Homo-oligomer: A and B are copies of this chain.
């Protein structure tokens, strides 16, 4: 086990300087303190005094509204806290951006604040700290993201495969066969997962997979403006969307063009955002239970903190059937 002596020897400084650096003393320069912390992390040093003093976790949030009740981030965090706080953990919620991440290494940030682990929301593959997660020794759980091979990092999310299988089955029961997908581009873990889930579900029900039934585009309204008419032109009678926000944009698009939902086309989202029940027509969608996802996040962290190196926990998906899906249009039969 790495001791303060080992760190001192590596850096060629005194034991007491190392100790001061680790304990945030004022008479050590900022630069030296970071060097000490980074070396301590690199060498696998465990600051037992800090660990025993306080049970502290942080939730790192990017690109996600977490202050408005019932919204995604809010409920994820609430679910996490509902499990963690009764277990004696103090939780800090830290909103941040890429700029912040460039300013301080993840491990140094965590050690400086005495956080034993983190729950990470809303990060993309472009976030600087994502690279640190590949080798980090500090347990972290990522929502809708996945880091390969590092036993200290786990993933939680809703089961895209189960969700899209339920969605396709529902459409097949209504007589649909030409089913399309509109999604963002495949540059994130979760969009790749949804895309593969769509392909597998189509394959499972023996339906034609045709690239002309698929539209991938970053900007939400652009994607629906471009692809809804194009897919309908190919004879598609039902469209899955990678997220509710895209499906809701399609509802507006169809209204503008006089396309009836579900008379001309059935649409299904993914998320079950609160607004999904209030669109016209109300949206059929795959529900991610946000509170349960937050709780999963804490279970996953508990595994890692107890040295049970899980890679992922998947939450069950459920299909919420509303009025945006209906029988296949007669002209298509």
Contact = CB atoms under 8 A, between A and B. Distances in A.
A295 B303 contact: yes
A271 B307 CA distance: 19
Contacts of A312: 159, 312-314
Contacts of A310: 296, 299, 313-316
A307 B299 CA distance: 12
A317 B188 CA distance: 23
A43 to B, nearest CB: 22
Interface string A267-295: 00000000000000000000001001001
A313 B302 CA distance: 13
Copies in the complex: 2
A296 B308 contact: yes
A73 interface: no
A303 B296 CA distance: 7
A311 B314 contact: yes
Contacts of A68: none
Given A313-B312, A314-B311, A295 B289 contact: no
A185 B312 CA distance: 27
B151 A316 contact: yes
Contacts of A148: 162
Q: Among A83, A295, A302, A316, find the residue whose CB has the most chain B CB atoms closer than 10 A.
A: A316
A303 B318 CA distance: 17
A85 interface: no
Nearest to A165: B148
A152 to B, nearest CB: 10
Contact of A306 (B149, B295, B308, B311): B295
- Of all A-B residue pairs in the complex, the 5 with the closest CB atoms, nearest first, are A309-B316, A295-B308, A292-B308, A311-B316, A311-B314
9 contacts: A151-B316, A151-B318, A289-B309, A292-B309, A299-B303, A308-B315, A310-B313, A310-B314, A312-B312
